[in-house]
Amino acid sequence: MIMVYFLTAFAKDGASLLNERFDATSDIEAMALAKDMLAKNDALERTHRLTRSGKLLLFAR
């Protein structure tokens, strides 16, 4: 089943650096895709979160 995920990354001042919606077939696939997106946008070391239907899957500060 395909699920919808939302990835958001933030600057230190709280501004949104990345706000992406994407589809994945599992939470594991979504986390891998999210980490790739963060790396490509130089946001891996920034505060970020990955959610699915209100469920927090990944958070780093």
**Domain of 54, in residue numbers:** 3-60
> What span, in angstroms and rounded, lies between the C-alpha atoms of 51 and 58?
7
Q: Which residues pair with 51 in a beta bridge?
A: 6, 56
At 60, the amino acid letter reads A
Domains held by the chain: number: 1
> What span, in angstroms and rounded, lies between the C-alpha atoms of 46 and 57?
16
pTM of this structure:
0.87
Residue 39 has pLDDT above 90, yes or no: yes
pLDDT tens digits for 4-32? 999 999 999 989 999 999 999 999 999 99
